[in-house]
Amino acid sequence: MSIVKSSNLGYPRLGEQREWKKLLESFWKEEIDISTFEKTAKILRLNNLKKQIDAGIDIVPVADNSNYDHVLDTTTAFNLIPTRFGNYDRPLTLNEYYDIARGNKDNVAADMTKWFNINYHYTVPEFDQTTPRLLENRWLKYWQEAHDELGINGKPVIVGPVTLIKLGKLNGDYVSNETDINVLLDAILPLYQQVFKELQQAGVNWVQLDEPTLVKVEDETDVVPYRRAIEALKEAAPTLNIELQTYFDSIDPYQAVTELPVQAIGLDFVHGHGENLAHIREFGFPKDKILAAGVIDGHNVWTADLSKKLALVRELKNVVSELWLQPSNTLLHVPITTKYETAAGSELLGGLAFADEKLQEIVTLTQTLNGQDTHVILAKNETALKALNESKARNNTSVQTAIKHLNDTIFERQSKYADRAVAQQNRLQLPKLPTTTIGSFPQSSEVRSKRAAWRKGRLSDEAYQTFIESETKRWLKIQEDIGLDVLVHGEFERTDMVEYFGQKLDGFYATQNGWVQSYGSRGVRPPVIFGDVDYTEPITVAASQFAQSQTKKIVKGMLTAPLTIINWSFVRDDIHRADVQNQIALALRQEVLNLERAGIKIIQVDEPALREGLPLKERHWQNYLDEAVYSFKITTSGVGDETQIHTHMCYSDFEDIIDTISALDADVISIETSRSHGEIISAFEDADYDKQIGLGVYDIHSPRIPTVNEIADNIRRGLKVIDEKQFWVNPDCGLKTRTEDQTKTALTNLEKARNIVLEELTAEA
């Protein structure tokens, strides 16, 4: 009879009340010292572990905590540190560690990009000019802490060596070819071996070796470096058990992976398009290995249908000798607990499961398979799901009818881009190399405190609106004084570019405490799309009209596009994702038309998450991209030729989706380029891209202020590829996270740099 245990892969870091975020930011502001930071961080770590133990999880992960990012933890532990930050033969101090993550006055921060296709940022390893050596065995450190303080033999979580290599860059490019992978393995495998040997000597039973890049390999030959790495680790620590963990999709070379010399293999049975289960049905599963089955969705928030999950896990139990039940991936990507969601109606609340509730689902499934009586829990689960699915919110007939009749309309702009460009320039009268920003301005402590007071009823609607308008006017004046050509209103009324729209559209629920880590201390609160999405009233029109009334310069209207709202939300899983996306598009179409009617001449519809949301397997790309283009055109195609549509994308490698970007038919696209050191520009070098482009010329994620010369060089680099008539000058992204002084100084330098380059172009002409 199969043994069944409950397991977890990782726990959220922010804290129930964002205690970790507040701790980190207090340290950055020098309000607390290192001793206080470390003491408090330990309390939070142990509390997270204790919650998992108390929930009944049999196999608890340790060392999944981080002071910023788990990939950065790995590279700094192994001294894979760019030499611009110094040379080390000891563990880094906290300040040295944060210099790499955030940059300092002398050096730009390490590159940062999205973790696979979800909204978490990791710090990209840079393998150039590094001297690999083990500076700290953090995995042993945190295992020992859990062992000594809580009496558990936890499961250290470590990013696998091949995944670490493939997520990093060598000579400016992501590592992909066999030769580079093997050279880097030669350098770092001895360090992993030392870590594993020390863990074995300390008495560790299990290590969770995360190799999620396995879901992107195509055939057996691609598995060779993973085998090499695992064999080296087993040689160093032969009695240490390895759980080889994959997630986010299925394994294509299934047989080659399941033959690897590990004791357990973690497979995702939620996001693998049913392919992992199909492989098990066709090929079986090795009797000498444990199947660690990811059966509870680790990056969505819906209560699992436990009756369906039981059918799945019972099938799995019948074909394996030992079964672990766990989330599909680490719970880092969901909020912590639903207990603070007091504003959610009973129908919705019964359908929500955050990290703590997901742990309980795993335990319930485990108990049921082990013969315990769980019928009360299962009956409650069935009743809750039925109530949500039969709710009024999920049965809006007018929205559903509109979706059914989408094919009755062709969503295209009135004229081709070349004709629109002439009409727009005649109307807008913009100079060469126009300057603008992406949308948001600093959300100061005063802005946040006023919003909090308003939400809690301590500030009247009228007083809050007066404050927002005063901030808008102040920042319009700042932009005018700097000399920017196209202005923004600053988005002071918005907490988040997705959450704000979720608060204004029917079918969304704005959580009270559903915070999720995006990067470092940055937490986002993704809205929950639980019902049919409907437009009930204008969202941004009043703010845009007010801003435009305060200046003679053009002020952009600012919206978030459907796909980004989808990718940065928790999306209902009872209907096709594309239908939800198109519901949002139909709602936003009305907003775009209302902005145009209100006299807004430029409307920016941001789609920063288009590239990051690509399915991990290329065979699924085209359908995803076609759906993205379709929903964007639903949103934007109703305006006249003279209305200029902008969009913004960030953290993107564009080479393979240039055709899709062009198909969006936006008049102007702005993209991130500075953290990638301008590499993205090359994507447009050979493409026949005829529309306008704003290349982000400085990195807004770092507090470091770029010099005029640096920005000018970035503009010149872009002009080698992009014609001056197509070129806009702007920061990488919104400026919400920067201080006022940083923003004003950086934008002043941007304007000066543009003017220098403009003078050069005039002289050359």
DSSP H or E stretch at residue 471: helix 461-482
Residue 653 has pLDDT above 70, yes or no: no
Q: Is 648 assigned a ligand-binding role in the annotation?
A: yes
Tokens of 614: 């690509």
Whether 94 is covered by a domain: the verdict is no
Tell me which DSSP letter residue 117 carries.
Answer: T
Q: Report pLDDT for 674.
A: 58
Whether 527 is covered by a domain: the verdict is yes
Please, is 191 exposed, middle or buried when counting C-beta atoms within 10 Å of its C-beta (0-12, 13-18, 19+)? Answer: buried
Residue 159: beta bridge partners? 210
List 121, 271, 489, 701, catalytic entry = 701
Instruction: Compute the mean pLDDT over every residue in the chain, rounded to the nearest whole number.
Output: 94
Q: Is 618 assigned a ligand-binding role in the annotation?
A: no
What is the arithmetic mean of pLDDT over 105-132? 90
Q: Which H, E and C letters describe 644-705, residue by residue?
A: EEEEEECCCCCHHHHHHHHHCCCCEEEECCCCCCCHHHHHHCCCCCCCEEEEECCCCCCCCC
Please state whether beta strands 602-606 and 557-560 pair in parallel, antiparallel, or not at all (unpaired).
parallel
Residue 558 CA to residue 440 CA, distance in Å, equals: 9
Q: Is 568 assigned a ligand-binding role in the annotation?
A: yes
Q: Is 114 assigned a ligand-binding role in the annotation?
A: yes
Please, is 153 exposed, middle or buried when counting C-beta atoms within 10 Å of its C-beta (0-12, 13-18, 19+)? Answer: middle
Q: Report pLDDT for 369.
A: 97
Whether 676 is covered by a domain: the verdict is yes
Q: How far is CA 403 from CA 395, 399, 587, 591, 599, in A?
A: 13, 6, 11, 18, 29
Instruction: Provide the b/e sequence for 40-50 (b: ≥16 CB within 10 Å).
Output: bbeebbeebbe
Q: What CATH number is attached to the domain comprising 699?
A: 3.20.20.210
DSSP H or E stretch at residue 39: helix 34-55
Q: Report pLDDT for 655.
A: 72
Query: 10 Å Cβ neighbour count for 470?
Result: 11
Q: Is 440 assigned a ligand-binding role in the annotation?
A: yes
Q: Is 650 assigned a ligand-binding role in the annotation?
A: yes
User: In the chain, how many domains are there?
Assistant: 1
Q: Report pLDDT for 498.
A: 86
What is the arithmetic mean of pLDDT over 150-165? 98
Residue 336 CA to residue 339 CA, distance in Å, equals: 9
Whether 634 is covered by a domain: the verdict is yes
* Amino acid identity, position 50: K
Whether 473 is covered by a domain: the verdict is yes
Q: Is 21 assigned a ligand-binding role in the annotation?
A: yes
Q: Is 53 assigned a ligand-binding role in the annotation?
A: no
Whether 423 is covered by a domain: the verdict is yes
Q: Report pLDDT for 656.
A: 76
The pLDDT tens digits for 474-526 are: 999 999 999 999 999 999 998 878 888 988 999 999 999 999 999 999 999 99
Q: Report pLDDT for 682.
A: 61
Residue 86 has pLDDT above 90, yes or no: no
The pLDDT tens digits for 576-609 are: 999 999 999 999 999 999 999 999 999 999 998 8
333 is catalytic: no
What is the arithmetic mean of pLDDT over 192-211? 98
What is the arithmetic mean of pLDDT over 702-709? 89
16 neighbors 512 (Cβ within 8 angstroms):
no
Residue 752 CA to residue 483 CA, distance in Å, equals: 9
What is the arithmetic mean of pLDDT over 379-395? 97
Q: Report pLDDT for 702.
A: 79
φ, ψ for residue 628, nearest 5 deg: -65, -45
Q: Is 168 assigned a ligand-binding role in the annotation?
A: no
Whether 624 is covered by a domain: the verdict is yes
Q: Report pLDDT for 704.
A: 85
Q: Which H, E and C letters describe 283-298, residue by residue?
A: HCCCCCCEEEEEEECC
> What's the whole-model pTM score?
0.89
Span of 270-274, 467-471, 580-584, 702-706 with lowest mean pLDDT? 702-706
Q: Is 733 assigned a ligand-binding role in the annotation?
A: yes
The pLDDT tens digits for 675-703 are: 554 555 666 666 678 899 988 888 887 78
Whether 275 is covered by a domain: the verdict is no
Tokens of 27: 């340290």
The pLDDT tens digits for 46-83 are: 999 999 999 999 999 999 999 999 999 999 999 999 88
Range of the domain at 469: 401-764
Question: For residue 63, how many C-alpha atoms fall within 13 Å in the half-sphere facing its CB?
Answer: 29
DSSP for 396-444, written as a single string: -HHHHHHHHTGGGS----SS-HHHHHHHHHHHH-PPSS-B---SB----
Confidence category of residue 97, pLDDT binned at 50, 70, 90: very high
Span of 228-232, 527-531, 605-609 with lowest mean pLDDT? 605-609
Q: Is 149 assigned a ligand-binding role in the annotation?
A: no
Q: Report pLDDT for 677.
A: 46
- 261 SS3 class: coil
Question: For residue 489, how many C-alpha atoms fall within 13 Å in the half-sphere facing its CB?
Answer: 27
251 neighbors 285 (Cβ within 8 angstroms):
no
Please, is 552 exposed, middle or buried when counting C-beta atoms within 10 Å of its C-beta (0-12, 13-18, 19+)? Answer: exposed
